[in-house]
Amino acid sequence: MVGMPPGFSPSQRVGGNALHLLVFIFLALTARAVEIRVVGSDLLGDGFARTVAAFARQDDTGVKLDLRGTRPGTEDLAAGRADVGIFLLPASEPPPVGAVVSRVMGYQVAVVVVPAASPLTQVTTGQLRGIFGEVAKEGFARWGDLNLPGEWAARPIALRAVAPKDDLAWSLFQRVILQDAVAKAGVEFSANGAALAQRLLAAENSIGVAGAGVAGTPGLRVLALSAGPTEPAYGPTAENVHRGSYPLRLVLYVAFRRTAAPDLQRFLKFLLADETAAALAPAGFVPLPGGVRNQLVFELEEMK
């Protein structure tokens, strides 16, 4: 036959093409079998897990989540048993370094909320310590102690918070605001943010500590916080939290080996996407400001 070497038959040619096809299919299936092993905080929430599953289906990428907590996650990443770590740490604690790259991907935030009927719009950290803590000085029991006028002056302050069992808001509040002060015995704890919101709405004289997921609840107001009576007050916006102007925050890091960045790039970009930020919001997380996220995406693209 023209163009074929001596001894080469059409059946051999077909067999060779079939072999190439089988090799291609094997390589494709092998590539798909590789999983991105993700470890980290157990507080990311069910919404995050569902969004990761949707990404895995759409991107045809295997993603295995093992969210047992930040401490075991850092050990797994350091030992090479994981590809990506998502860790929640106090702002004063450095993230993993050395063989891995760590970048901020967001924050978990606690908020102080009051019913919208309250005239209070901002409060100092010292006042919060006096409201919720047993302190010798600046102990506040009635709203008049904070100079609220008229009929509010005589009203007692009803203290509310989300129970610390499955939410870090109260623990964060204790660390940043109360510090060494003991919490007042009158603090009433609710099982979750929704239950706390109902308790706050039922009593106009109440004030509560919760995760940022309660922000936007109709009938409630999130208070701006200031370091002192002459200092500016800041609300928990993405910009204020990122700058550190708003103090009630834990830092959410994503960590990975720099050499693996090209292979992980699509997943890392997904972690910075709007859809992921929306999935994390109910668990009290605040994303990076848009411009900061865009800059981080650019940095990831430059990692070779």
Q: What is the pLDDT of residue 18?
A: 52
pLDDT (mean) for 192-199: 95
Same domain assignment for residues 154 and 236: yes
Task: Give, in degrees to the nearest 5, the angle at Cα 178 between 189 and 103.
Answer: 95
Portion of the chain with pLDDT greater than 70, in percent = 88
Residue 103, Cβ density class (10 Å: 0-12 exposed, 13-18 middle, ≥19 buried): middle
Mean confidence (pLDDT) of the chain = 89
58 and 116: one domain? no
Specify whether 192 is located in the same domain as 180: yes
Same domain, 120 and 73: no
- Asked, for residue 16, whether it belongs to a domain, the answer is no
pLDDT at residue 125 is higher than 50: yes
Q: In CATH, what number is assigned to the domain containing residue 168?
A: 3.40.190.10
Per-residue model confidence as pLDDT tens digits over 78-93: 999 999 999 999 999 9
For residues 265-281, one letter each, b for 16 or more C-beta atoms within 10 angstroms of the residue's C-beta and e for the rest, the string is eebbebbbeeebbebbb
pLDDT band at 180 (very low <50, low <70, confident <90, very high): confident
Are 274 and 293 within one domain? yes
Predicted confidence at residue 229, as pLDDT, reads 93
Percent of the residues in the chain that have a pLDDT greater than 90, as a whole number: 79
Task: Please tell me whether residues 115 and 238 are part of one structural domain.
Answer: yes
In a shared domain, residues 42 and 60: yes
- The two structure tokens encoding residue 229: 């009576």
42 and 88, same domain (yes or no): yes
Q: pLDDT tens digit string along 205-253?
A: 999 999 998 988 999 999 999 999 999 999 999 999 999 999 999 999 9
Please say which residue of 207, 228, 243 terminates a domain. 243
Tokens of 293: 């996220």
Which pLDDT score, from 0 to 100, does residue 96 have? 87
Confidence band of 17 (pLDDT split at 50, 70, 90): low
**pLDDT tens sequence across 62-78:** 999 999 999 999 999 99
Instruction: Determine the pLDDT at residue 298.
Output: 94
User: In this predicted structure, what is the pLDDT of residue 135?
Assistant: 83
42, 51, 43, 40: which is closest to 85 by C-alpha? 40
How many domains does the chain fold into?
2
Contacts of 300 by beta carbon, 8 Å cutoff, 6+ apart: 261, 265, 268, 269
- The answer to whether position 257 is within a domain reads yes
Same domain, 121 and 239: yes
Helices and strands, counts by H and E, the chain: 10, 15
User: If you ran DSSP here, which 8-state letter would residue 121 be given?
Assistant: -
| pLDDT higher than threshold 90 for residue 19 | no
Last residue of a domain, one of 219, 243, 267: 243
Q: Are residues 63 and 186 in the same domain?
A: no
Please give the pLDDT value at position 98: 82
Q: What is the pLDDT of residues 33-57, one digit of tens each?
A: 468 999 999 999 999 999 999 999 9
State whether residue 2 is helix, strand or coil: coil
Q: Would residue 228 count as lying in a domain?
A: yes
More confident residue, 9 or 300: 300
Name the pTM for this structure: 0.84
User: Contact at 8 Å (CB) between 170 and 163?
Assistant: yes
pLDDT score for 245: 97
Give the long-range contacts of residues 219-223, CB within 8 A, separation 24 or more. Answer: 219/115, 219/116, 220/113, 220/114, 220/115, 220/116, 221/113, 221/114, 221/115, 221/116, 221/118, 221/120, 221/121, 222/111, 222/112, 222/113, 223/111, 223/112, 223/113, 223/114, 223/120, 223/121, 223/122, 223/123
Give the residue among 118, 108, 150, 142 at the shortest CA–CA distance from 220.
Answer: 118
Residue 5 lies in a domain: no
The verdict on residue 53 lying in a domain is yes
201 found inside a domain:
yes
Domain of 42, in residue numbers: 34-107+249-302
DSSP, residue by residue, 199-226: HHHH-TTEEEEEEGGGTT-TTEEEPEEE
Give the strand pairing for 285-287 and 158-162.
unpaired
Q: Which of 243, 261, 279 is the last residue of a domain?
A: 243
Q: How far is CA 163 from CA 22, 119, 134, 189, 302, in A?
A: 57, 26, 19, 5, 43
- Residue 12 falls inside a structural domain: no
Assigned domain for 236 exists: yes
Same domain (yes/no): 194, 124: yes
pLDDT tens-digit profile of 128-177? 999 999 986 777 999 999 999 999 999 999 999 999 887 899 999 999 99
Give strand ranges (E) for 180-295.
182-183, 188-190, 206-211, 220-222, 224-226, 233-234, 249-257, 285-287
